């Protein structure tokens, strides 16, 4: 177990370049299972979750080679991949469930252990299961595994999602591309990562229309082919740097970014007093004064991203005035508020609302990351705290942020990584 040691008082300044999105690359790796042969992904982030997914694919019979120097990943899928994803890997990462759709579509059967991942809410799998059932699969739970079977193949059908779940939309879309007939997914998720997956599936020979809207139509085909594909830039990491610049009254240029994926989040920073400038290959955020508190309501895309909600709390904790942050996606996303309180933040929660009263500066203390985004937000909070903050369970941050501490040092922060002498399993 490692931890981050953060010395407060830094003003972040400089530039960063984004890698591909964690929330996209894992699904693209799963989509490679749909075609026999070699699929190559570019702009792949060097994060722990990619390593976990790579090992999961290896256990399904694939050969996987990841070269962090070139940010490329090669997946060689056999004619008949395995169909069982074991618990020891799936428990580490919820995105493992995204192999369910491709495996049942390609093999006629899939056995995937019920997943683990971040402790940010219940996130039931009902929508995934209901969608596959609508496509003709039989789905049961046996000995901790979700077992989906469609020995005669899947068949296209209308699918209505009660909530625009990203994971369910992706799983159903990947299952439908090899189904007989046409599938229409209504109330589909609209995130840029959905569009990225649809673009890769289309390049493989799938017929997918409407990605990025609330209705996606998939006409099944008999066979797909492997492709080369470049992963969309990570909008959540882009937003993390944007809010870190504002919180530390800094100046950060984010390169290889798509500001159109962060319109509401960047607009909130303008409200907080930052100057946000679009550049040729991304954007720049400059904050010269103490930020003003901003109200935020998280919603599915194109609303404010729930993954940036921890950064909003960190920003508001040192802002001028008071603000309300409302969480509408994951009910346990406020779990890390107790850690911010240890840093001296003034936050009160009531259900899915949090009222934050800003203080001029926080106070360094030992805290613990409870999930990927909370860990990054606690490091940023440590930068605007007096003294030293130690953030334990750095492995959470490693799952989503490549070289986070090194990038912070390049921006002028005093952040080091060290072994945690008192490490307990999470």
Q: Which of 203, 152, 151 minimizes the C-alpha distance to 177?
A: 203
- Give me the residue label for tokens 């290959």: 281
Give the torsion sign (CA, 46, 51, 53, 59). Answer: positive
| Cα distance between residue 374 and residue 22, in whole Å | 16
| Cα distance between residue 341 and residue 178, in whole Å | 50
- Give me the residue label for tokens 């075609």: 35
Q: Is 118 a catalytic residue?
A: yes
- List, edge to edge, every strand of the sheet that includes 296-297: 296-297, 322-326, 353-357, 346-350
Q: Which of 118, 251, 307, 393 is the catalytic position?
A: 118
Q: Which helix (H) or strand (E) holds 83?
A: none
| Cα distance between residue 246 and residue 270, in whole Å | 10
CB contact at 8 A, 24 and 47? no
- Give me the residue label for tokens 């649809």: 198
CB contact at 8 A, 313 and 374? no
Tokens, residue 66: 């990841």
Length of the chain in residues, anyone? Answer: 426
- Give me the residue label for tokens 């929660």: 349
- Give me the residue label for tokens 């090992």: 55
CB contact at 8 A, 282 and 259? yes
Distance between the two ends of the chain, CA-based, in angstroms? 10
Q: Which residues contact 23 (CB under 8 A, 6 or more apart)?
A: 95, 166, 191, 193, 234, 236, 307
- Give me the residue label for tokens 């903050």: 389
Per-residue CA distances from 237 to 199, 248, 350 (Å)? 22, 16, 28
CB contact at 8 A, 391 and 378? yes
Active site residues per annotation: 118
């Amino acid at each position: 177990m490692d931890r981050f040691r953060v010395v407060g008082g830094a003003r972040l300044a400089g530039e960063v370049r984004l890698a591909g999105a964690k929330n996209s690359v894992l699904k693209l790796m799963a989509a490679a299972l749909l075609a026999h042969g070699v699929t190559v992904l570019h702009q792949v982030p060097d994060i722990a979750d990619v390593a976990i997914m790579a090992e999961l694919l290896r256990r399904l019979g694939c050969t996987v080679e990841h070269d962090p120097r070139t940010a490329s990943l090669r997946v060689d899928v056999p004619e008949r991949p395995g169909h069982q994803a074991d618990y020891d890997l799936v428990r580490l990462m919820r995105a493992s469930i995204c192999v369910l759709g491709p495996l049942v579509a390609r093999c006629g059967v899939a056995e995937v252990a019920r997943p683990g991942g971040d402790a940010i809410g219940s996130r039931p799998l009902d929508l995934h299961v209901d969608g596959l059932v609508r496509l003709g699969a039989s789905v049961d739970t046996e000995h901790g595994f979700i077992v989906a079977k469609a020995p005669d193949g899947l068949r296209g059908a209308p699918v209505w999602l009660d909530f625009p779940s990203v994971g369910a939309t992706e799983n159903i879309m990947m299952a439908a591309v090899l189904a007989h007939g046409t599938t229409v997914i209504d109330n589909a998720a609209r995130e840029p990562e959905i569009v990225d997956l649809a673009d890769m599936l289309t390049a493989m020979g799938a017929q997918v229309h409407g990605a990025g809207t609330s209705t996606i139509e998939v006409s099944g085909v008999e066979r797909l082919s492997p492709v080369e594909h470049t992963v969309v830039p990570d909008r959540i990491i882009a937003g993390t740097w944007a809010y870190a610049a504002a919180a530390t009254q800094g100046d950060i240029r984010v390169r290889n970014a798509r500001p159109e994926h962060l319109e509401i989040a960047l607009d909130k920073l303008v409200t907080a007093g930052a100057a946000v400038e679009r550049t040729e290959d991304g954007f720049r955020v400059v904050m010269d004064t103490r930020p003003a508190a901003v109200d935020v309501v998280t919603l599915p895309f194109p609303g404010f991203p729930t993954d940036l909600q921890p950064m909003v709390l960190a920003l508001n904790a040192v802002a001028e005035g008071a603000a309300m942050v409302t969480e509408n996606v994951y009910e346990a996303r406020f779990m890390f508020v107790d850690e911010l309180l240890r840093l001296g933040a003034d936050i009160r929660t009531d259900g899915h609302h949090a009222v934050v009263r800003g203080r001029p500066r926080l106070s360094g203390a030992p805290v613990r990351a409870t999930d990927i985004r909370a860990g990054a937000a606690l490091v940023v909070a440590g930068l605007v705290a007096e003294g030293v903050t130690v953030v334990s369970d750095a492995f959470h941050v490693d799952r989503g942020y490549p070289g986070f501490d090194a990038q912070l040092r390049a921006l002028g922060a005093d952040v080091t990584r060290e072994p945690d002498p008192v490490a307990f399993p999470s």
